[in-house]
Amino acid sequence: MTSPPPLTPGSFPQDTTPIVAGSSSRNPTPTATGSPSTTLTPMTSGTSQTPMMPTKSPPIMGKTLGLLAALLLAQLALAAFLFMRGSGFGAVQPDAPLIAFDPAAVDRVSIQDGTGAQVELVKRDGQWWLPGHFDFPASASQVAALLKDLQGLRTRLPVSTSPEAFTRFRVAADQFERRINLRQGDQELAVLYLGDSPGFKRLFARGSQGEAVFEVAYVAHQAGTKANDWTDKGLFALTSDQIAGLNLNGMALTKTKARNSDQEGNEVAAAGQVGQDHEGERSGQEPKTEGNDQLSQDPQTNGGGHIRQDPETESGGHIRSNEGGGQAGPDRWVLEGETTEIDQVKAGDLVRAAANLNYLEVLGTEAKPEYQMDNPVARLTVQPREGSPREFLIAKLADSEDYVLKASDHPWYFKVGAWAVKRLEEARKELLLMEPEQQAPAQD
């Protein structure tokens, strides 16, 4: 098979016919198979033949298209800006209160979550209460912190001003994470909706009077919907220094101060002198004695600066001390009716256990058989330095590791953990008494 001869200037394929000026440039001619074919022939003029060259678009067209695209984007941006201003973005004042109210005027707080759980706090006579939870006292400090935090929420750039977005952010009137209603009597002061969390310690929020949704620094648990989130956990809280004495299962501990007298030396309760001796040992010094000073161990004696410890004449374990003469020494715990010295560390631990009777939850005001209050494991009377003594009954809760606590001056029953009453339940006189070798030697 032979290849076709190469084309040279002025030559043409065999199936084409030169076209002179003024003739048609394309003529279908039959091929060997009988089908027409289009013959491309160059334009000739006279004896010279010049091939046709393609032409390019002018460069001005590309620049024009770029300018038109930029103009379109600018128009879209301007339309979006005008839409946002018309939708409410421009009406939002930056750094303004999200909800405006006076905390001092609030006397009713209602908090509801998306599941329908709700708690109500009511202020009466200056005290906050939980009327739906056995009318139990609420923590005033927690309510004050809640109102302060809500008052401190500020507006920033809104994330949305469209009511259609309320459901998406869960701040709608019927779909929310928290709905907080602040009232003064029957007058509504403010309503706040808290929604989903976009990040750590962040929530979407909306005031009921606005259509803007904001992102605020807040967490949902700061507005709990359980009554136990708001109960006053410090109802029985005391410090050891506020306790003057206690009686536990017939064992009476009272606090006394050692007194120094210039004329009669030191005349104190037995444990008081031992306490000073221990202080001297810890400081590396020998206990100080003067003359024929003696330790008075007679609980019925009340002479010369000694502390009388007669439970029959001092109701509830009150301490009666002689204020005449002498300089007060350190506080010491003494066990009434005992001449044997007691371990001050163990006595202090027992007093702290009585001072920190914290409860887990409020069970109600009605006694139930499972509380087993007719068979208490501990009977405790605490005598504060100021005020009347308070009596406690502690019993084991049936089919539970927890206990039930009942105070004489309150109508409620409380659930307490085993850790809170273990030391009180196991307390015995023998555990407080010091061994003979631990006691200070008698002095003449």
Residue 30, burial from CB neighbour count under 10 angstroms (0-12, 13-18, 19+): exposed
Give dist(CA 152, CA 154) in Å, integer.
6
Q: Which residues partner with 327 through β-bridges?
A: 260
Q: How far apart are CA 10 and CA 42, in angstroms?
A: 10
Burial of 38 (0-12, 13-18, 19+ CB in 10 A): exposed
Task: Classify the phi-psi angles of 47: left when phi > 0, otherwise alpha if psi is within -120 to 50, otherwise beta.
Answer: alpha
386: left (phi over 0), alpha (psi -120 to 50) or beta: beta
pLDDT digits 0-9 by tens, 186-195: 999 999 999 9
Average pLDDT, the chain: 76
Residue type, 17: T
How many CB atoms neighbour CB 300 within 10 A?
9
Q: Which range in 74-88, 317-331, 383-397 is most confidently predicted, on average pLDDT?
A: 383-397
Asked if residue 212 lies in contact with residue 197, where contact means CB atoms within 8 angstroms, the answer is no
Residue corresponding to tokens 């002198």 = 273
Task: Kindly tell me if the per-residue pLDDT of 273 is higher than 80.
Answer: no
Provide the sign of the torsion angle of the four alpha carbons 309, 313, 319, 321, taken in this order.
negative
- Which are the contacts of 149, defined by CB distance < 8 A and separation ≥ 6? 218, 222
pLDDT band at 434 (very low <50, low <70, confident <90, very high): confident
In whole angstroms, give the CA distance from residue 419 to residue 425.
Answer: 10
How far apart CA 35 and CA 28 sit, in angstroms, is 9
Distance between CA 313 and CA 332 in Å, rounded?
21
**Residue 173 has what pLDDT?**
94
Q: What tokens does 290 get?
A: 């003067």
| Interval 20-44 mean pLDDT | 45
What three-state secondary structure class fits 26? Answer: coil
Distance CA 33, CA 288 (A): 141
CB 344 within 8 A of CB 271: yes
Please tell me the distance from the alpha carbon of residue 15 to that of residue 13, in angstroms, as a whole number.
6
Q: Give the number of other CB atoms < 10 A from CB of residue 432.
A: 22
Long-range contacts of residues 159-165, Cβ cutoff 8 Å, at least 24 apart: 159/204, 159/213, 159/214, 159/215, 160/212, 160/213, 161/84, 161/87, 161/88, 161/89, 161/92, 161/211, 161/212, 161/213, 162/87, 162/211, 163/211, 165/213
pLDDT at residue 123 is higher than 70: yes
Looking at residues 371-378, what average pLDDT do you find? Answer: 96
Beta strands (DSSP E) in 365-442 are 378-384, 390-396, 403-407, 413-416
Confidence band for 5, pLDDT divided at 50, 70 and 90: low
CB 341 within 8 A of CB 350: no
pLDDT at position 110 over 70: yes
Residue 213's nearest CA partner among 192, 199, 183 is: 192
Per the CB < 8 A criterion, the answer to whether 327 and 259 are in contact is: yes
Helix, coil or strand: residue 177: coil
Report pLDDT for 298.
Answer: 40
132-166 per-position pLDDT tens digit: 999 999 999 999 999 999 999 998 889 998 888 99
d(CA 295, CA 380): 30
Q: Are 131 and 223 in contact (CB under 8 A)?
A: no
Centre a 10 Å sphere on the Cβ of residue 41 and count the other Cβ atoms it contains. 18
CB 360 within 8 A of CB 417: yes
Q: Does the CA dihedral 275-278-283-284 come out positive or negative?
A: positive
pLDDT higher at 351 or 330: 351
- Which neighbouring-strand residues pair with 307? 321
- What was the pLDDT predicted at 74? 80
For residue 214, give the 3-state DSSP assignment: strand
More confident site: 176 or 54 = 176
